[in-house]
Amino acid sequence: MANRTIQMPVFDLTGKTAIITGGTKGIGFGIAATFANFGANVIITARTASAVKEAAEDINKNYAAKGASCIGVPADSSKQADIDNVISEALKAFDEVNILVNNAGIAGKTAKVLTDECNEENFENVINTNLKGVFLFSRSIAKQFVAQGKGGKIINVASVGGLIGGPGVIAYGASKAGTISLTKTLANELGRDNITVVAFCPGYVVTPLNEDVFLDAEGNHTKIYDLSAKNTAVRRLGEIEEIAGPVTAFACDCFSYVTGTTIVLDGGQTIGR
């Protein structure tokens, strides 16, 4: 058989529309901005209307030259009515949706299982946001993908916390392990409709939400940063761009044959040092 001409992979999201939950700050905002930089129209969600408005304005200001447009829709990803409204607003603005990034999540209280703080209320709050929300949004967007007839991509932001146990984070770890399992089932069921699903598991990443723990007022590493870095093979913590980049790559068409897998982005935290 003669060699055929190879179609080179293209890292481009021009003409695509993506919904990113929890997209106003940290990793979620990094993913939204990177998608926009590669030409995607973006819908970002969060529970706070002012935060959604500010983040959308920021993306439109900085990435409009790339041909992208961003709208913000306040939403609680654990509520079906809010999810339906997000998808409706996305269709009004951009006619179709091609990518969903389930990024919204909370850590909950840090509490060991035998303490009073590790209670049913905390467990339910974390599971509702981190796992129930992924289920509800994935199911709803999958129905939309099938109706459009063009397939689509679902990207779930899990965590190394779903792969390894740690003290005080039983609800968070359970929610992320559930997300990894849910990813596999979704991929199995939706593959026939050309819908691919993956889970990304970040390790330690410096974000605006935790930089006061990892960095001092002058921007130098704290003792907590140094201790955490020793748990990685590369002896440093990750940056937002190092999560947003791989997520963006998967969202592009060149990763259309990847589904049902877990991609670990942890600098070697889970391989042993």
Active site residues: 172
Give every CB contact of residue 259 below 8 A, 6+ residues apart in sequence: 187, 191, 196, 197, 198
The backbone torsions φ and ψ at residue 46, rounded to the nearest 5 degrees and listed phi first, read: -170, 170
Q: How far is residue 92 from each of residues 88, 171, 211, measured CA to CA in Å?
A: 6, 37, 37
Q: Residues 265, 203: contact at Cβ < 8 Å?
A: yes
First to last CA, the chain: 47
State both tokens at 49: 């209307």
CA nearest to 18, candidates 77, 97, 103, 84: 97
Q: Which residues of 224-233 are buried (b: 16+ CB within 10 A; e: fewer)?
A: ebeebbebbe
Tell which residue, 81, 185, 196, has the closest CA to residue 145.
196
